[in-house]
A = this chain, B = another copy of it.
């Protein structure tokens, strides 16, 4: 057990899985000598060589398609998309291909593929280095989507992703790469894909979040506990697809109120589905409206400082939303 950052955990997971299984390889732009633009694969090129840490041409759809082909041939590719904003050229390969192979072949052809990509705002990246893209893919049965918010989960979930026989999108809150720190075990453990994690138990209301927002929400919940005596339960969804409905419904059954926090723009963001599930299956538990605190409905996160900060929820605005709902 050591203290480590989110990106350390991701690197350790890749390293361990490459060490464990010679079929695991990494490809993407600048993943080789450069070790990735965020240094997620630092050292792996030297350790495993150019055969297994492969600098791709600058072309995302083929990064994914090569991964799909290699996965069909029973390798275990980890494909890095440098920024989630650049995953869109590969949309067809992910949605029409990776997600549908197993179904379209009636269970014959599997695509054990991991797609890793940093996402989210707050790093002065402007419109094209700040996007959240999970909502698009959460609409696609056949994919799994994982977003970790702690080093422990990041490592364990990434290792599960590599071992999963299905295509897994693994989105990493880049603002947290170095900002989020926590305990990290060097053991060969996994964290299962699927179950949400109760980040903080509480009785007054439930807050659902993931990624950087799960981190912020936990901070906000601690704060309102101290300052306002509000006891918020924080549920870190961790896996977005498939959604852990039981965890959501159980929590709201207990608290009667739900707030969903995501930094993506509001309309049709992931929280829409969480809200829809609650409005249907959780209706009888609800003592108040299902609130969403979200990024703004503008095309993307602006570069300039004030606009960027205003776009995204933060611990203060989350605390405020908790107070408002608790007082409903």
Contacts and interface: CB of A to CB of B under 8 A. Distances in A.
A148 interface: no
A288 B283 contact: yes
A92 B292 CA distance: 27
A126 B162 CA distance: 31
Contact of A299 (B100, B127, B267, B291): B100
Contact of A279 (B127, B139, B284, B289): B289
Given A103-B299, A275-B279, A280-B291, 4 more contacts: A88-B96, A141-B265, A271-B276, A281-B289
A245 to B, nearest CB: 10
Contacts of A104: 127, 299
A263 to B, nearest CB: 14
Contact of A141 (B286, B289, B298): B298
Given A91-B92, A267-B273, A300 B138 contact: no
A183 interface: no
Contacts of A193: none
B91 A267 contact: no
Interface in A199-222: none
A89 interface: yes
A283 B280 contact: no
Interface in A83-109: 85, 88-89, 91-92, 95-96, 99-100, 103-104
26 contacts: A61-B89, A88-B92, A89-B92, A91-B91, A100-B127, A103-B298, A104-B127, A135-B139, A136-B136, A138-B268, A139-B264, A139-B269, A141-B297, A243-B267, A267-B273, A268-B268, A268-B270, A268-B273, A272-B273, A272-B276, A276-B276, A276-B279, A276-B290, A276-B292, A279-B286, A279-B290
Contacts of A138: 267-268
A4 interface: no
